[in-house]
Amino acid sequence: MTCGFKQFIGAVTMVACSMFVAQAHAEDKVLKVGCEPTFPPFEFLDDNAQPIGYDIDIIKAIGEEEGVKIEIVTMPFDGLIPALITAQLDASISGITITEERAKKVDFTEPYYDSGLSAVVLSENKDKFQKISDLSKSRICSQIGTTGAAHAQKISGNVASFNTNPEAFMELRAKGCDAVLLDKPVNGYFLSKSKVGEYYEIPEILNAEQYGIAVKKGNQQVSQILNSGLEKIRKNGKFDEIYNKWFAAKK
Ligand code: ARG
């Protein structure tokens, strides 16, 4: 009888212990999330070289809802999908457009932002480039591996692509190309920070795009955490709060 009681206590202790371990495990779960941080207002570095922006707030809010820690890792844009494939990252949030081609290599969460491409030219060339198709004979600057670079290829086939977006804008300024083809909200941010009258955005949106968070193909555990977190922040108002923080002027 005593022995039986001891066994009972032992079993209870073991169950309690494993419950504690499971609990501790959930809280300790860290998601390594990649981004390329020259894409304001989605991801860029603050004065202390810390990544900030819309995407960073979104992924942190998801982490908070789901009780997982988010570790942000920065890397070149064209390295993000390979790093998911080789499982160096759990997810990537980086203004990544959901495309059919990418969806063959990685999984995407539900879309979290509607976007599109636009072209910025020097104001002095405003009359020359009234439509994006007017760039058909132009050299176009963009970022390596982006939808902007892919479309520039279709428009003129003469593309200068850079690792970072500031380099693309610097090249435009130096007249090494006629236009920067990039996501419209990022062009908008650039214009808002530039000297009035220096640059001009061709008033045309090239492509309807949606951003999703990319996950290693088949990693349903991570996809499920991210989708569930997204749904929760959409419901509890956090998503709108973050949207308004970064895009208030446009609403
Ligand atoms: N939306 C574009 C794409 O998916 C550009 C994304 C660039 N993102 C970045 N963080 N640099 O190709």
Residues facing residue 211 across a β-bridge: 97, 113
Residue 60's pLDDT is 98
The verdict on domain 30-112+212-250 having CATH code 3.10.20.30 is no
**Dihedral of the alpha carbons of 168, 169, 175, 180, in degrees to the nearest 10:** 70
| Closest C-alpha to ligand 1, atom 12 | 146
Here the tokens at position 159 are 């593309």
How far does the centroid of ligand 1 lie from the alpha carbon of residue 138, in Å?
A: 22
Instruction: Pick the atom of ligand 1 nearest to 145's CA.
Output: 12
Q: Which ligand 1 atom is at minimum distance from the Cα of 149?
A: 12
With 0-12 CB in 10 A as exposed, 13-18 as middle and 19+ as buried, what is 222? buried
> Do the beta carbons of residue 112 and residue 56 sit within 8 Å?
no
Buried b / exposed e over 14-44, threshold 16 CB at 10 Å, is eeeeeeeeeeeeeeebebbbbbbbbbbbbbb
* Cα–Cα dist 39/41, whole Å: 6
User: Per residue in 49-97, pLDDT tens?
Assistant: 999 999 999 999 999 999 999 999 999 999 999 999 999 999 999 999 9
**Superfamily in which the 115-209 domain is placed by CATH:** Periplasmic binding protein-like II (3.40.190.10)
Kindly report the protein residue whose alpha carbon is nearest to atom 5 of ligand 1. 146
20 pLDDT above the threshold of 70: no
Ligand 1 neighbours, Cβ below 6 Å, are: 35-36, 38-39, 43, 77, 94-97, 143, 146-147, 183
Question: How do residues 205-230 score in pLDDT, each as one tens digit?
Answer: 998 999 999 999 999 999 999 999 99
**Phi, psi at 200, each rounded to 5°:** -135, 135
Question: Which atom of ligand 1 is nearest to 97's Cα?
Answer: 4
Residue identified by tokens 């004065």 is: 47
Domain ranges for the chain: 30-112+212-250, 115-209
Amino acid in the structure at residue 83: A
